[in-house]
Every structure is written in C-alpha cells, then in structure tokens.
Amino acid sequence: MHYNGPIIRPQTDAYSLFVEVTVGCTHNSCTFCNFYDGYPFRVAPLEQIEEDLQEAKRQNPNVKRIWASGGNPYALSTERLAEVGKLFQKYFPGALVSMYARVDDLCRKSVEEMKYLKSLGISDLVVGFECADDEVLEHVNKGYTVADILEGCKRLEEAGVTYRMIYLGGMGGKGHGEISAKRTVEVLNQLHPYYMYLNMVTVVPGTKLYEERARGEFVEAEERERLTEFITLLSGMKNEIRIFAAPNTTNFSFDIDLQKDKENVVGQMIEIRDSLTDEDEARLRAYRNAKTSV
C-alpha cells in the first residue's frame, strides 16, 4: 500500500481499508491545525490507487468499508472522484466509501454531482465544520461562513448523501464558549447529520494559534468553560443523532444516542464541571500545555 504523510481519520473508522486518494489538504491554513505540515496537497495517481486495491483484495476480498484517505478528497473534481469511485466499485462492489470534505468543497458541487458520486459509492462524508459561529470561523481562518455550512449540508441532504460533522470546542477562546455553542445549535437544528464528533482544541506548537497564545492574543478557555460550551451545545440540539466524544481531547469518552441519553450525559458533565477545583484547573491546564499533538 502507498501511504504518504499521516493517515488522519475518525476513531470510528479505524477498521476500514485505508486507501490514499489525496495527500495533505487543499486549504492547509486553519490556524489551529498542523496535521499535514510538510505534506503539500497532491492527488494520488489512479494507477497507485488501483495497485493498492489489488493488494488489499488479495489480503481481504470482503472489505465492506473504505476510508478514502487525505485531508479533503471531496475537493477533487467530480470527474476525478468518479474515476476513483469506479475503481472502488470494481474491486469492492457495494463497499461504503467515506472521506473528509471541507464545507467549501460541498459548495463547489451541485446536487446532481453529489447524486452521481453517491451512485458510485461515495456516499458518506465527514465534515470538519468545527462550529457555526462566523466570528470564530474567521478568526481561525477556516475559509467559509455559516451560510456556506447551511448551503453545503443542505445540498448533501437533497442528494441523499449521509454525513457526519466534527465540532471543535474551545476555539473561540476564553469567554466565547457559550455564545459559540448557542450559535451552533441554531444552525445544527436546521440540519440532519447522523453523527457528530466532539473535540476540544489543542494548541499545538508550530501553529498560528500557538503563536497567538504566546503573544497573549488568544486566551484559552478553562476546563469549566469548555464543559459549559458542550453542555449548552448538547442541551440545545434537537437532532436525532449519535454523539461521539473523543477521549484524546475531551478528557471523557462516550458514544451516545443524543435524544435518548442527553439528560444522563449532560447531567454528568454538569456534575464534573461543578466539582472541578482551581487545583484541578491548574492540573488540566498543565496537561494540555504539555501536549505536542492532538
């Protein structure tokens, strides 16, 4: 198999077949992200993809899920993605193909194009929308607006393409968590993702956000505020959705049916938040500051 650079994928896709479709990310300038530093965006040759699929087929002819690797392969032209989809179908007919997509990638495809790609198995996207707060999106240079989030996701829904979203808590910094969550709730309640990952931002060395923090221009939210942000978010969401909290960035771990388990999980978060002492805050801050990667 050909792998260049890191294979980033959601924890829930750990057992998929990873096939490199792109390397790096077309945007590569969100101020908090260093995933693809040193790996400029490029497109994997179709011959390489086919070779990898042949090798994978020899090892396991019954692959049911494929993770099309890269920071946002959905940025590729519809024609190119269709070629990739056809190759996946040739070797693993019926396999579910998932991949990352940026919000602006969605806005560049028509509903008809999305439907066409879906017919070739490209039918499950993971969108790192992060939050639906224009102030924050602009500050971290995400490269799209809340209006784009609504537009892109509604197109997916019209095309019948299922999608998951990634929420990144703490991005607004100290004093901004609750308002970000409230703004996001207003948007999410108009959309129908089937899954959402809850992450909290880690300020990683080498990023612009790290430099901003060093200059005192970005002040991180305390743990209590980060929890309040999640409590506000989950409490306000009316979506029928599963929520996955990743233990590597959130300090807790769950995978819940939101409407069924909301009261329980939100209650636990409130309990944890209200029991955190100033010493706990200092300890958790030190732990976060010592992290050099997500």
Ligand X SMILES: C[S@@+](CC[C@H](N)C(=O)[O-])C[C@H]1O[C@@H](n2cnc3c(N)ncnc32)[C@H](O)[C@@H]1O
Residues binding ligand X (CB under 6 A): 8, 25, 32-33, 35, 71-72, 100, 102, 127-128, 130, 166, 168, 199, 201-202, 204, 249, 294
Which structure tokens are listed for 49? 């993809």
CB of residue 32 vs ligand SF4: minimum separation in angstroms? 7
Query: Binders of ligand SF4 among 234-263, rule CB under 6 A?
Result: none
Query: Is the CB of residue 131 less than 8 Å from the CB of residue 167?
Result: yes
Report CA torsion sign: 77, 82, 88, 91. negative
CB of residue 130 vs ligand SF4: minimum separation in angstroms? 7
Kindly tell me which residue out of 19, 22, 27, 243 binds ligand SF4, with binding defined by CB under 6 A: 27
Beta-strand runs (E) in the chain? 17-20, 22-23, 42-43, 65-69, 96-101, 122-130, 162-169, 195-200, 242-245, 254-257
Whole-number Cα distances in Å, 145 to 55, 142, 151, 276: 41, 8, 10, 35
For residue 265, state whether it binds ligand SF4 (rule: CB under 6 A). no
Q: Which does 204 bind (CB under 5 to 8 A by kind): ligand X, ligand SF4, none?
A: ligand X
For residue 28, state whether it binds ligand SF4 (rule: CB under 6 A). yes
Q: Which is nearer to ligand SF4, 25 or 181 (CB)?
A: 25
Q: Which does 201 bind (CB under 5 to 8 A by kind): ligand SF4, ligand X, none?
A: ligand X
Q: Which is nearer to ligand X, 69 or 239 (CB)?
A: 69
CB of residue 12 vs ligand X: minimum separation in angstroms? 13
For residue 288, state whether it binds ligand SF4 (rule: CB under 6 A). no
Q: Which is nearer to ligand X, 70 or 121 (CB)?
A: 70
Alpha-carbon distance of 58 to 21, in angstroms, equals: 20
Q: Which is nearer to ligand X, 33 or 233 (CB)?
A: 33
Q: Which is nearer to ligand SF4, 76 or 269 (CB)?
A: 76
For residue 128, state whether it binds ligand SF4 (rule: CB under 6 A). yes
Query: Is the CB of residue 26 less than 8 Å from the CB of residue 42?
Result: no
For residue 102, state whether it binds ligand SF4 (rule: CB under 6 A). yes
Task: Enumerate long-range contacts of 53-57, CB under 8 Å, 24 or more apart.
Answer: 53/19, 53/87, 53/88, 53/90, 53/91, 53/92, 54/91, 55/1, 56/1, 56/17, 56/19, 56/91, 56/92, 57/91, 57/92
Alpha-carbon distance of 193 to 197, in angstroms, equals: 11
Which structure tokens are listed for 128? 């790192």
Please state the three-class secondary structure of 104-157 as a single string: HHHHCCCHHHHHHHHHCCEEEEEEEEECCCHHHHHHCCCCCCHHHHHHHHHHHH
Helix (H) or strand (E) segment spanning residue 5: none
CB of residue 28 vs ligand SF4: minimum separation in angstroms? 5
Which structure tokens are listed for 131? 């939050």
Binding string, residues 62-81; x marks residues near ligand SF4 by CB under 6 A: ---------x----------
**Which listed range, 22-30, 179-187, 206-214, 223-231, lies at the site for ligand SF4 (CB under 6 A)?**
22-30
How many residues of this chain interact with ligand SF4, rule: CB under 6 A?
Answer: 9
Binding site for ligand SF4 (CB under 6 A): 25, 27-28, 30, 33, 35, 71, 102, 128
